[in-house]
């Protein structure tokens, strides 16, 4: 499990004073960029120098509780599956202060050559990166 | 079916020069705000004066094709179900120039009192608004 | 004077329920993209096909009054000067309902080749576009 | 001088693959939120519990060099003046890897009661916070 924390920013709430629902998608991308920091050059090198990326092909999001300005989001990211070209992630977003479960995001990404948008086999170093956070199937659903 | 068009903006793409995947969630909210314009005072009145809102409790998104700067997104919004407190929407986002299917979003929202976050029965005027775009069950899945 | 209207969106306010101060900069860019619609292919063609852009080199912004969700922003854009490579714009942003002056933005942009970031002479068609909204010096300051 | 670093995020660039010009305004707000972390409860407590805020009344921005995805922005924030109700800040944004000066932002904020939008005297603890980063007048302009 990869853990990533970030405070809600002043501009991330909406007119109802709750974190706007699209922001959680951005938070998940931030967590993935942070997870990639374990590779030399990070996600920047992966995308800008190796011409690879991880476009999302599927998202499922359950919204359970709100976040407000003043809250800290704690993202816990598990890897559910590493396939030939795709990776399935599950991000649970918690309100850090009281451990309320805010959002559960299941995300499927595909390794893709950015200049052609053609799927590619998961490179070994990236496979290693995600394998380190792989959870057993049963645990994934609990 | 409610149809809403918007051009991709210069700042809405990411470092891969594709519309960033969280933006489609914003586009769906824009479409819903536009759909509400048929009610007097629109979504602004609904949220700011009546203290009601439509927080999303569930999203399922399939990403099929990219959008780039220069493209126009055409959102076709259908209502799949109007329940006691919840409404299920399906947004299909098309690339307007060549009718490529970009993204399919299924979204469940719940009528909620904003000051208390307690679910509320769908008000009659809002029910009428969504009923006008209701599709038969079979059609919804085709 | 080029006039452009847009409603404040639900996600554009901040935790103080006022339009976040960086949003006005986005509004000005939206107005400029709209102004370019008078050229064939618009700003999309200018940037993506002709490899030109209008990076901003200077901004001065006075904030006079707030906008909230439910307000419509009316942008009035004047051209103060068209130089060899640079263009000076002044955007006045009004709250459309009561004509309160919200923000005054003075912006200097430079025609630039995007692939090299080298300044370029203002092309004739772009000069024509901006000349159409040029105001006399004295009027600009009144 | 208060120093704050942040990596450019994947979604913060525009169709020209440069950090979009409004983003620097967000970066400055992030730096100010970070600076406030020295007060108990931070900017969250200041705004949400004490009903105070620091709306910007004036911004002057010079853009000197671009940032791209893969760059780290280093913000150096100096306080130029603490008045009765207003505070003048200067943020210099550097590209961290090669110390290129990217942007210089001069910002005037006013202590304001958020519920009424009436200016307030700078509270003692906030004055202390900003006084700690005050630069002598001459130095400010060098």
pLDDT digits (tens, 9 = 90+) for B85-94: 999 999 999 9
pLDDT digits (tens, 9 = 90+) for A48-101: 999 999 999 999 999 999 999 999 999 999 999 999 999 999 999 999 999 999
Coarse DSSP helix, strand, coil percentages of chain D, rounded to the nearest 5 percent: 25, 40, 35
Q: Which among D31, D30, D81, D34 has a CA at the least distance from the CA of D58?
A: D81
Contact call for residues D103 and D88 (beta carbons, < 8 A): no
What confidence category does residue D111 fall into, taking pLDDT thresholds of 50, 70 and 90? very high
CB pair distance less than 8 Å for B66 and A16 = no
How far apart are the C-alpha atoms of B134 and A141, rounded to whole Å? 34
Got the DSSP string for A53-101?
A: E--EEEEEEEE-S---TT-EEEEEEEEEEE-SSEEEEEEEEEETTTTEE
At C137 the pLDDT is 65
How far apart are the C-alpha atoms of A14 and A3, rounded to whole Å? 26
At C136 the pLDDT is 75
CB pair distance less than 8 Å for B62 and A62 = no
The residues facing D56 across adjacent strands are D109
The residues facing A13 across adjacent strands are A19
Question: What residues of chain D, 101 to 120, have a C-beta less than 8 Å from chain C?
Answer: 114, 117
For chain D, which chains pass the contact test of at least 3 CB pairs under 8 Å? A, B, C
pLDDT digits (tens, 9 = 90+) for C107-133: 999 999 999 999 999 999 999 999 999
Higher pLDDT: A57 or A139? It is A57
The secondary structure element, H or E, covering residue D95 is strand D86-95
At A90 the pLDDT is 98
Q: How many Cβ contacts (< 8 angstroms) between chains C and D?
A: 67
Averaged pLDDT, D2-17: 96
At D142 the pLDDT is 46
Tell me: pLDDT of B10 over 70: yes
Buried b (16+ CB within 10 A) or exposed e, C118-131: eebebeeebeebbe
Q: Which among B14, B26, B11, B21 has a CA at the least distance from the CA of B63?
A: B21
What are the backbone dihedrals phi and psi of residue B29, each rounded to the nearest 5 degrees, phi first?
-65, -40
Q: Which among A86, A58, A61 has a CA at the least distance from the CA of B62?
A: A58
Tell me: pLDDT of A139 over 70: no
Closest-CA distance of chain A to residue C142, Å = 34
Average pLDDT, chain B: 95
Higher pLDDT: A141 or B131? It is B131
| B48 interaction partners in chain C (CB closer than 8 Å) | 68-70
pLDDT digits (tens, 9 = 90+) for A58-69: 999 999 999 999
| D13 interaction partners in chain C (CB closer than 8 Å) | none
At B138 the pLDDT is 60
pLDDT digits (tens, 9 = 90+) for B23-71: 999 999 999 999 999 999 999 999 999 999 999 999 999 999 999 999 9
The residues facing C2 across adjacent strands are C77
ipTM, 2 dp: 0.94
């Amino acid at each position: 499990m990869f853990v990533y924390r970030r405070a809600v920013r002043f501009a991330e709430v909406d007119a109802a004073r709750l974190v706007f629902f699209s922001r959680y998608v951005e938070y998940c991308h931030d967590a993935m960029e942070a997870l990639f920091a374990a590779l030399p050059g990070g996600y920047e090198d992966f995308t800008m120098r190796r011409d690879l990326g991880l476009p999302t092909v599927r998202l499922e999001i359950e919204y359970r509780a709100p976040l407000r300005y003043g809250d800290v989001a704690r993202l816990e990211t598990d890897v559910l599956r590493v396939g030939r070209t795709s990776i399935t992630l599950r991000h649970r977003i918690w309100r850090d202060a009281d451990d309320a479960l805010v959002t559960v995001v299941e995300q499927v990404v595909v390794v893709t050559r950015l200049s052609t948008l053609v799927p590619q086999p998961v490179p070994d170093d990236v496979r290693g990166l995600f394998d380190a956070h792989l959870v057993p199937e049963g645990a994934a659903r609990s």
